[in-house]
Amino acid sequence: MFDKDFKTFQRFPKVPSSYYCFFHSEKETICVGTQLIVIGREIDGIVVFRYELENHKWFKGPSMITPRVMYGSASHGKTAFFAGGIQMDDNGNPIVVRTVEKYNADAKSWTMINGMHKARKFNSGCFLRGKFYVLGGRDENDKHLTCGESYDETTNSWELIPDMLKDMTFITPSQSPPLIAVVDDNLYMLETSLNKLRVYDINTNIWKKLGVVPVSTNTTFGWGTAFKSMGDRLLVVGSSHSGHRKGIVYSCRPSPDVKEQH
């Protein structure tokens, strides 16, 4: 855990899993309230670990109601949403779902909410202007989805947003989920195929190009790059364009109104 200027850090205790497969499988993380949620896979299936900051300790569970991976997620205060993903059926076959669950950090519990319009995997999620948004991903036929969806918690309903990613370039079927982050109620995306930063106009459903980022996302199809927000800054963690330096943290204070920078 780093401070906001990345000058000091605190090392967490090790995750208390004793399984080899957990440490060598893909894991997905999200912060909610003062907890860090880590979801991975053990021998018996998908497992949830949570780190509680006030106790400086890891705990196992509680498990998701419908355990799955490769979902879109986002947190807002002490609540986090998990949408879509890949779930195993009773015969052990992977299926793409439209299922959505809400996690409450205070109660340490999961709640099912209404499902999305589209089943999707490898999608991304964010909170934007009071709503939970889900972007992109691939459907049950492994086809890239250009639509998005927004969830209104007051009505427990989803609104489909056609063509939200219509002008994005998909360079490979195995491309990473969309790299998105929100700063000051503006949604930004790191377009992996072009190494470019974009900002979303919620009124026109158009992504404006802002300029090139200093990491090479196109060579790895977006995998291995982290794109996050912290306060009023965007953070990019990845390899430099030269490829000689890895794990570099870049930050900027974005402005949605600037012209494209080269």
Same domain, residue pair 159 and 197: no
Kindly state the tokens that stand for 146. 């250009």
Residue 225, domain extent: 167-262
Task: Report d(CA 197, CA 145) in Å as an integer.
Answer: 20
Average pLDDT over residues 191-201: 88
Give the chain's mean pLDDT: 89
Q: pLDDT tens-digit profile of 122-138?
A: 999 999 999 999 999 99
The pLDDT-based confidence of 244 (bands split at 50, 70, 90) is low
For the chain, what percent of residues have pLDDT higher than 90?
61
Q: pLDDT tens-digit profile of 79-113?
A: 999 999 999 888 889 999 999 999 999 999 999 99
CB contact burial 27-44 (16+ within 10 A = b; e otherwise): eeebebbebbbbbbbeee
Same domain, residue pair 69 and 126: yes
CB 104 within 8 A of CB 148: no
Kindly state the tokens that stand for 202. 């919620």
- CA 140, distance to chain mean position in Å, is 19
What pLDDT shows up at residue 208? 92
Same domain, residue pair 88 and 214: no
CB 104 within 8 A of CB 111: yes
Number of domains within the chain: 2
What pLDDT shows up at residue 245? 56
Same domain, residue pair 199 and 146: no
Contacts of 182 (CB under 8 A, 6+ apart): 126, 127, 128, 188, 229
Same domain, residue pair 47 and 111: yes
CATH number at residue 184: 2.40.10
Which residues, in sequence order, are bridge partners of residue 2?
Answer: 9
Same domain, residue pair 26 and 151: yes
What global pTM score does this model have? 0.90
Task: Report d(CA 235, CA 242) in Å as an integer.
Answer: 19
Same domain, residue pair 125 and 218: no
What pLDDT shows up at residue 215? 79
Same domain, residue pair 106 and 156: yes
Same domain, residue pair 175 and 53: no
